[in-house]
Structures are given as structure tokens and as C-alpha cells.
Amino acid sequence: MAKSDWAMDHVRRYRETGGADGHIWRGHDGNGNFPCLLLTTTGRNSGEARTTPLIYGRDGEDYVVIGSQGGRPVHPFWYLNLTQDPAVEVQVEAETFAATARTADGEDRERLWNMMARLYPPYDDYRAKAAATREVPVVVLSRA
């Protein structure tokens, strides 16, 4: 499955401007202002760098992202990639740094889910859509 044109354009603009264009995403409907980072994983089959723009939240020094894929029944490729290799690269605005990814669980997962759903309310709908086939992952990105 090819990455959508809007996502590839988002990555390009974000990188070209050091996040000045792309760090704040207006949403598909043009409503809201959601902070975005760029997450680069290593393709589990190709070994190539794969970059995805994602809405993020902060938990202390860590960054938190959600593998919702709009509630689709399968995990997003970026999540599958980091389960094979949790060493990732993160860009937040103009800063790029190495990080380690982990999937939150238990009470930590629920606390972080609630934080992210307050930031981006459609996550709750996505979780409900996906519930029959998977648990939507909450991923914590910690500086390496």
C-alpha cells in the first residue's frame, strides 16, 4: 500500500521548513490545530527508512503517538516496523533526534490514551472501530 499523497507532501513540507509548515496540522476537515512530529522507522522487509507524520502529545520528556490508522482492522506499517526495530528517528519542528519506541500497556496505556483522546477526540471513535480486530497501540518515544 502506497503512502497517501497528502502524507508524503506533509513530510516534504515539514522537512523543507524545519516544521514551520507542518508542525501544526489543521486536520482533514481544516478544523483544529494538532501538533505533529515526523517518525522515521526502518522498514521490516525493505530495511529502508520510512517516515510518517503523526499527531503527538507529551508525557514529561517523552513523546506519545497513537497507531490508530483511522480505526482500520490492521496496525499501521510504521507500528509494525518499530515492533521489529524500536530504534527510531523523531523530528519535532527543526530538531531531529534518535529515540526508542515502546508500546504502553496497563494503567500507563489508559492514562496516555486519555491524554491523547483529549488532544484529538476522533481517537475514541477509531478505537471503537478497531476493537473487533485489534487494540490500538499507544507508543511512547523516549530519547535514546
Could you report the per-residue pLDDT of 93-135, keeping only the tens digit for each?
999 999 999 999 999 999 999 999 999 999 999 999 999 999 9
What is the distance between the alpha carbons of residues 139 and 65, in angstroms, rounded to a whole number? 5
**When comparing pLDDT for 4 and 23, which is higher?**
23
Q: What's the confidence (pLDDT) of residue 113?
A: 98
Amino acid 68: pLDDT? 96
The CATH number assigned to the domain with range 5-143 reads 2.30.110.10
Instruction: For residues 142 and 129, give the distance between their C-alpha atoms in angstroms, rounded to a whole number.
Output: 29
Cell reading at 73 = 482492522
Question: What is the per-residue pLDDT for 2?
Answer: 46
The model's pTM: 0.93
| Higher-pLDDT residue of 4, 116 | 116
Tell me the one-letter amino acid at 32. G
Q: How far apart are CA 31 and CA 143, in angstroms?
A: 31
Q: Given the C-alpha cell 507532501, which residue does it identify?
A: 9
Mean pLDDT within 131-142: 97
Contact 79, 104 (CB under 8 A): no
Domain limits, the chain: 5-143
Is residue 21 classed as helix, strand or coil in its secondary structure?
A: coil
